Structure 1
Amino acid sequence: MNVLLTGATGFLGSRIIGQIAKHDGLVLTSVSRRPVNNHDNYVVVAELGPGTDWKGALADQQVVIHTAARAHIMKDEVADPLAKYRKVNVEGTLNLARQAAAAGTSRFIFISSIKVNGERTIQGRPFTAEDSPAPEDAYGISKLEAEQGLRELASETGMEVVIIRPPLVYGPGVKGNFASMIRLVEKGLPLPLGAIHNKRSLVALDNLVDLIITCLDHPAAANQVFLAGDDEDLSTTELLRAVAGAMGKPARLVPVHAGLLMSGATLLGKKAVAQRLLGSLQVDISKARNLLGWTPPLSVAEGLKRCFPDH
């Protein structure tokens, strides 16, 4: 099977390359904006946009795994963030998908985001793939609009579309909020997060890659939406302890009431940060389990160990 991967030098894409190489019968072509160091068979495409010409890359490709995107930016200083996200994540994605369908590609796997569902859940009531979308920011809106356009294209052309919505992804080389948390634990600073009783779903990088590879040719994946996760939800306190344990460091956590933390963060203009640390966001992966027979191969503990191979 010939597979085209976009975003090949990214956090997720580079891991997909390594894992697909272990599977006989899969021939991978990688696409990125610069040469791919760990893969010989690649195509350089200047940008992901509405005018990108994909004809050369799409020849004889049965499946496209589309991971390239304008990523979520915490402090986006662009005047119109939604327009910027739409140009890449919506128009760029649909341009690629239309050309893929015209080239005879049979399946298009789109890596979306749990932000399509929303930003928070009531504890014990996780998001499901069938929930009505409720994105709250420009990034989530752009991912939803791309999903909607892909579904329309699937009905028009017969090309199968698979949509995967991951929550926070962690693994070797992780960046963003998770990397910031790792640095705080590594410094051994006391953190006022020793009494947080929320529940949040995460997905180990290798678990997400395993789900993507499962969806390459599984007949039941066609035209479905799946939520990805480790199937093991943790509170912020539990996660910090697990990270510290994986690093071989002590977890210096001070128990402070969540309400007091939220009030203080709101006064400091950090309410959004506090909501992520203190609120719940759970996902239900039973659809992937039931339809695909998929279970995450790694536990959270195993996934965290892979973040710190030298510990």
Structure 2
Amino acid sequence: MAYPWALIGELSSESDWSEALRDCSAVVHCAARVHVMDDTEADPLAAFRSANVQGTLNLARQAAQAGVARFVFISSIKVNGEQTTRDTFFTAEDEPAPRDPYGISKLEAERGLFVLAEETGMEVVIIRPPLVYGPGVRANFASMMRWLDKGVPLPFGAIHNRRSLVARSNLVDLIMTCLEHPAAANQVFLAGDGEDLSTTQLLHRVGQALGKPARLLPIPIKLLEIAAGVAGKHAIAQRLCGSLRVDISKTQKLLGWRPQVSVDQALNETAQAYLNSQNSS
């Protein structure tokens, strides 16, 4: 089936969305200036606000004016914060505690959307996913698959953290639920696969999916953190060694939603897509 589409350009306060919004009853807003590890902007927060706050609210205002009934905003778990302990979880009701410009901009967009919902009557739904993976995944997850595929020994064999992930297919299924479920209106939901993994477990499971056993060295976390500090890579060390867990019980109870794909199924699909891309290149 062919779907109409419109090329708008940049996500900004000046973008004209009228063509894309014609005859739309709902909007799913995924576009954003994404998290950047080594941002070269002189004022990163201003750059994030321009796209993620001003650009988002411009789209939402035009959507409300066009008669859109529901606006689903893909936010980020970074609104909650950067990490939990191994035994605690972020929840949708937590007081937000973003730590970086990206997370701050997403929180400001959320708050602006709820104000707009009160003013216009357009329903808003917020989804905060953790790391999203699936076929075609890029950035650190793709690098991890390349290392494992090449059999590179990695010093991550003794990490006992817990991190939540969400497969792309599970996130899409949740979005579809939020588009139509009456109870989703003007709510915040966290997304996840329902199974949390340590970095060590994730590497082993991805290796299995690739058919390449992970070669992991049991280096103590303290040594990894010291080495990362010397290299100026604190943020990477936090993601590898720290925990970030999400509680999806509100999402499950209020919407009757359950992850449709298991972690292993999603990792197998992700790995197969990666292998196919390697074979075709």
Q: Does 1:161 align with 2:132?
A: no
Cα distance in 1 between the residues matched to 2:63 and 2:217: 53
1:246 aligns with 2:197: no
Letter in structure 2 aligned against 1:102: Q
- Output aligned runs, 1:223-242, within 5 Å: 223-242=186-205
C-alpha contact (below 8 Å) 2:210/2:272 kept by paired residues = no
Q: 5+ residue gaps in structure 2?
A: 276-281
Q: How far apart, in 1, do the equivalents of 2:3 and 2:265 lie?
A: 30
Partner residue of 1:278? 241
Aligned partner of residue 203 in structure 1, secondary structure: strand
For residue 120 of structure 1, report the CA deviation from its aligned partner: 0.4
Task: Name the counterpart of 1:300.
Answer: 263
Which position in structure 1 is the counterpart of 2:278? Answer: none
**1:126 match:** 89
Q: Deviations over 1:61-88 (max 9, x none)?
A: 1100001111111111011111111111
The one-letter amino acid paired with 2:89 is P
Hey, which bits of structure 1, 4+ residues long, moved more than 4 A?
Answer: none
Q: Bigger relative contact order, structure 1 or 2, given CA contacts below 8 A and separation 6+?
A: 2
Q: Tell me the matched-pair count.
A: 274
The equivalent of 2:279 in structure 1 is none
Counterpart secondary structure, 2:217:
coil
CA distance in 1 between partners of 2:11 and 2:159 (Å):
40
Q: Quote the residue 1:16 is aligned against.
A: none
For residues 153-210 of structure 1, give each alpha carbon's deviation from its aligned partner in whole angstroms, at most 9, with x where no partner exists.
0111110000000000000000111111111111111111111100000000100000
For 1:139, give the aligned amino acid: Y
CA distance in 2 between counterparts of 1:274 and 1:180 reads 15
Choose between structure 1 and 2: higher helix proportion.
Answer: 2
Q: 2:37 aligns with which of 64, 67, 74?
A: 74
Letter in 1 for 2:251: A
Residue 40 of structure 1 and its aligned partner are, at CA, apart by: 4.3
**Pairing of 1:1-311 with structure 2 (within 5 A):** 40-309=3-272
Secondary structure of the residue aligned to 1:291 is helix
SS at match of 1:163: strand
Q: Alpha-carbon deviation of 1:56?
A: 2.2
TM-score under structure 1 normalisation? 0.86
Secondary structure at the counterpart of residue 42 of structure 1: coil
Distance 1:68 1:56 in 2: 17
Alpha-carbon contact 2:206-2:271 (below 8 Å) kept: no
Aligned counterparts of 1:101 and 1:259: Cα–Cα separation in 2: 51
Paired amino acid for 2:148:
V
The gaps in structure 1 that reach 5 residues or longer are 1-20, 22-38
Q: How large is the RMSD of aligned CA atoms in angstroms?
A: 1.1
Q: Which amino acid aligns with 2:85?
A: I
Q: Secondary structure at the match of 2:272?
A: coil
Which amino acid is the alignment partner of residue 198 of structure 2? S
2:199 & 2:271 partners in 1: Cα distance?
19
